[in-house]
Amino acid sequence: MTTKRALTAEDLRNLNIIGDPQLSPDGQTLAMIRTRITDEDEYETHLFVQKHTDNEPKQWTFGAGRVFSPRFSPDGQTLAYTRTKAKGEKPQLYLQSLDGGEAKQVTELDGGAGEPFWAPDGRRVLFSTSFEGGQAVPAENEDTVKNNGKDEKSKPFVVERLKYKSDAAGFHDGKTKQLAVLTVSDGQVEFFSDDVYDHTPNGWSPDGEQIVYTANKAPDDTLISDIYTVDTKTNEHTCLTGQEGMFSNGTFSPDGKTIACFGHEKEYLGATQAKVWLIDPLSSKRSVLTASWDVNVGDTMIGDSRAGDTEPGPVFSNNGDAVYVRASTEGNTQLYHVSVKNGDVTQLTHGEQHVYSASIDPDRGEAVVGISTPLNPGELYRLSLTGSGETTPLTAMNAEFLQEIHVSEAEEIRTRSTDGGEVQGWLLKPYQFDDNTSYPGVLEIHGGPHAMYGNTFFHELQLLAAKGFAVFYSNPRGSHGYGQQFVNAVRGDYGGMDYEDLMAFTDAVTARYPWIDSNRLGVTGGSYGGFMTNWILGQTDRFQAGATLRCISNWLSFYGVSDIGYFFTEWEVGADFLQDTDTLWNHSPIKYVNNITAPLLILHGEKDYRCPVEQAEQLFVALKMRGQDPRFVRFPEANHELSRSGPPHLRIARLDELTSWFKKHLLESEPTNTAL
């Protein structure tokens, strides 16, 4: 039996989330951000810097607010970052000398500043800001905003565009993300875009004459993302990808003759695996570098304990003969080397782990990687790009916390589904596990569905184990990590083979671990996992309790109320609301609500625009009308990201609701002794 204490919901406040590592050009200094929850129930993100002579990182920013995106100047003497100093404030751009002294705020824009990129000459900084198209020099009118100290009266919200809301930003205010460049010497800001489309900066060409960015300049009903360049002398914009797919993270090669990016041409719509592409910026000719590598490049790991990490995209080696990328496969996210000549792939990191962030130093053949495992929320490590893949620890910010609390190891399980396909998953044993005792089990189902459970720290899963449950979770059909055919298999088949995979996995778990009481099983999940929880309870009575989180219950209404509903239903369920309502209804869990007998907990954010709260309302009312007694808990000011980045006290309240529900319905009777 362990002598360490059990994990609690409140332990969210004890986690140190270390991310966005950035190596200085000489490789001697490392910048990073640390996020944690304060006693005032706020997220606090600060800049930390660690020099090669330091045993541990030192905090460089203090006080209220949050720091984002630290980036070293080419000479390594200055750090650029963005920062807010008060809740609700827009972030602004700051410059901090590595020699010390106070940081200097260099922007004061109504639309804030984000995503900084230094020009190669170190004289300019590219960043993003927001304003309404046609107002490239936005200015705040204090009298209008503050209304002479009085509250401004509410106004009607006029909707004319299809994209009028998003789960991340709420209702659109007419402002869009634009490209801006700061000249460091005089603080002047020049704008390189001014229209109604969002522009996301990706970086500079080696000569500093071109900016590469991504944007969707198609009509609202067309979901694409293109790579563009803009000439900083003429302000001429060039689309390189032809409005044919989803491309992002454009990066120039050292000689400026090639742009590498992630992308696909929507061959399988939202289930298409991203590949590495190479583009000639002069001719716009493009080719797939990783066509024969059946993986999704990038990080598709699901978790609830990450913050502040950015996707660096493909990073060129110093001579341009290779790119470094992360990719996710079979429950792990690793760093890889891909040859530009022939697409050969070499894995650089190894082990059962989640490489959640990486800063590459191609000149020195080194990298700093952020690594999480089921036993560790995440720390930073130094990695040689030419060695054996061994890593050297750089931070230990969670060491003290981990010495105090018990976390459960993840035991891998592989089984076969009803059609012979393999399903991978894991199990966490209960706190102070005794193999002579019987325990209830909880099946967790991830969202997406095009995402991946795996070898990363997951507070919610660990918490359920700490409360005395066997927690088991898997990657059913539709998950990333197992090739293009597998991730595409769920489209048009929601509730089909994905359901079979989950039931086969449950069978395998209960057969392998006879100490799990098959008469005390619960099921839960969020988003797609909420859909599947609803679906499972309407198809089988093998689960004695369920908890559905930010769920989907009715595809017919989802079409018009979700910020993605108008394309997601056709992409994923395979039917358009305007042409085939029968298919959408047949795949809707609420159709089968009369079959649900297990007690159900419904948790939902009031401002969830991805899976709006009306999905939960319909389910609750339908269950009540047939005499059931569900518990419906609504979280104010919370969107779809409640479990990952929502208000801390609401995240904890959500976890308390979840664990209390399963305790009530699965732990009412004392565990039995199987040895008797």
Q: Which residues are catalytic?
A: 527, 640
Bridge partners (DSSP) listed for residue 179: 128
Alpha helices in 83-233 (DSSP H): 142-146
Buried b (16+ CB within 10 A) or exposed e, 437-447: bbbbbbbbbbb
Q: Which residue has the tokens 């496969």?
A: 329
Contact 455, 374 (CB under 8 A): yes
β-bridge partners, 376: 373
Which of 591, 590, 588, 592 lies closest to 577, judged by CA?
588
For the chain, the first-to-last Cα distance in angstroms comes to: 21
DSSP 8-state class, residue 179: E
549 DSSP 8-state letter: E
Which residues are CB-neighbours of 11 under 8 A, at least 6 positions away?
A: 401, 405, 459, 463
Nearest to 106 by CA among 130, 123, 88, 87: 123
Tokens of residue 651, six digits: 């995240």
Kindly state the DSSP code that residue 598 receives in the 8-state scheme. Answer: S
Q: Quick one: tokens of 351?
A: 């082990």
Size (the chain), residues? 676
Contact between 159 and 142 (Cβ < 8 Å)? no
DSSP helix/strand/coil, 469: coil
Contact by Cβ (8 Å): 631, 616: no
C-alpha 638/C-alpha 607 separation (Å) is: 5
Q: How far apart are CA 5 and CA 150, in angstroms?
A: 52
CA 463/CA 12 separation, integer angstroms: 10
Whole-angstrom distance, CA of residue 144 vs CA of residue 149: 10
Q: Provide the H-helix boundaries in 258-317.
A: none
Q: Side by side, which strands form the sheet with 210-215?
A: 199-204, 210-215, 226-231, 237-239
| Residue found under tokens 């981990």 | 402
Helix axes 648-666, 459-466, angle to 10 degrees: 40
